[in-house]
Each structure stands twice: as structure tokens, then as C-alpha cells.
Amino acid sequence: MISLTAPFTEEKIRALKVGDEVEISGVVFTGRDAVHKYLHEGGALPAEVSFQNGIVYHCGPVVLRDEQGAWKVVAAGPTTSIREEPYQGEIIKKFGLRGVIGKGGMGDRTLAACQEFGCVYFHAIGGAAQVLAECIKRVPNVHFQKEFGSPEAIWEMVVEKFPVVVTMDSHGNSLHKKVYDASVAALAKRL
């Protein structure tokens, strides 16, 4: 298990390879369809949010307030990432992302951006939303909640030992593409 702690530098990210099991500790921001589309179309991040050398999590967390009024994440499972494929490569480039967390992988444009700009795709386990939420230690802030709604907002989360697997690296390797190509080849032999 590789421990990846903030700051998430290009050097740390380029050292990762497909298949590496990683535990992330530091600040992670959520971002789903509305945020990706907004940023792709020229929208700006709030002044207090920086994706530079950061990680975006494709997640619509379930977040409640505790008795003291602090945000508490009770479920934080990954959402299907391929929906962000039209936007992700440009957002990696424009905002200097080093990592994207989601499930199911992404396509060739995102893979090319990962290779060119030093970013990786981390696969988080689907169906483990409550377990993953236990790795979120604090929620300092939420942005665009009124504009986009709670699941689509940008949640700023401090995570500790958040478990993921590198499935697309900055060297042009994609486990998703490898599995797809092998499946197509196996199917062709049966037809």
C-alpha cells in the first residue's frame, strides 16, 4: 500500500503506476456533472478553492450536520466517471489536477491528459459508500450548494487513508482499456 499525502506533486503522481494500491491523505474536492460542465464552459472556481495539484472525487456525498453544526459525511461512494469524459481532459489541463477519483474508468481523452499533464485516475470501490465516508475526517466547506444542489456541489473534504487503486496512470497505461481490449478479443474468438 502506497501512502499518498498532500501536497500532491507531479513527482509523486508520476511515480504511480497502474495497479498501485494507494491510501490518500489530505484535501479532496468532490465534483460531478454540473461542476465539470460549468468549468468546461468557462465558469470559475470560488476564490477559496484551488484544484492546482489537487484531487477531484466524482462523488455526490450524503452530508448531514451534527449536533455542533459541523458537516458530517455519512456516505461517499464514487459515481460513474465516464460521464465526465467530455470535460475531464480540459479540466486537468486548465486547473492543474493531479488526480481524479471515481469508478468505471475514463476514456482516451482523459488518459492523454493524464499522460501530458501528470495526473492519474484512481478507482474507488463502488458499494462501499459508508466505509469510504469513515475516511473523511472533516468537511471544512461546501461551494455551489445553492447553485447546483447538494450532490452536485463542491464539497471540500479532509481525508485520511482513503483507499483507491491506480487504474489509469501518467504513462499512458489504462487497466480499463486493457480489460476492454481483452474482452473484445475473447468475444471475437467466440463469434
74 CB-near residues (< 8 Å, 6+ apart):
62, 63, 64, 130, 133
Q: What is the mean pLDDT of residues 116-138?
A: 96
pLDDT tens, residue by residue, 22-60: 999 999 999 999 999 999 999 999 999 999 999 999 999
Q: What is the mean pLDDT of residues 13-18?
A: 98
Let me know: does 87 contact 40? Beta carbons within 8 Å: yes
pLDDT confidence bin for 178, thresholds 50/70/90: confident
State the Cα torsion 148-152-158-164 to the nearest 10°. Answer: -160
C-alpha cell at 135: 475516511
Q: What is the mean pLDDT of the chain?
A: 95
Q: What pLDDT is recorded for position 55?
A: 98
Tabulate helix, strand, coil % of the chain (nearest 5): 35, 30, 35
Catalytic machinery residues: 36
DSSP alpha helix (H) spans, 19-151: 33-40, 85-95, 108-117, 129-133, 145-148
Q: What pLDDT is recorded for position 180?
A: 80
Per mean pLDDT, which range of 43-52, 125-134, 139-148, 176-185 is the poorest?
A: 176-185
Q: What is the mean pLDDT of residues 118-139?
A: 95
Q: In the chain, which ranges are E strands?
A: 2-5, 21-30, 55-57, 62-65, 71-75, 99-102, 120-123, 136-143, 154-168
Let me know: does 119 contact 9? Beta carbons within 8 Å: no
> Whole domain around residue 151: which residue ranges?
2-190
What is the tally of structural domains in the chain?
Answer: 1
CATH of the domain at 81: 3.20.130.10
Q: What is the mean pLDDT of residues 59-83?
A: 94
Model-level pTM?
Answer: 0.94
CA distance 49 to 68: 24
Q: What is the mean pLDDT of residues 57-79?
A: 94
The sign of the dihedral angle between the CA atoms of 169, 175, 180, 184 is positive
Residue 181 has pLDDT above 90, yes or no: no
Burial class of residue 33 in the structure, from the number of CB atoms within 10 Å of its CB (0-12 exposed, 13-18 middle, 19+ buried) = middle
Q: What is the mean pLDDT of residues 124-143?
A: 95
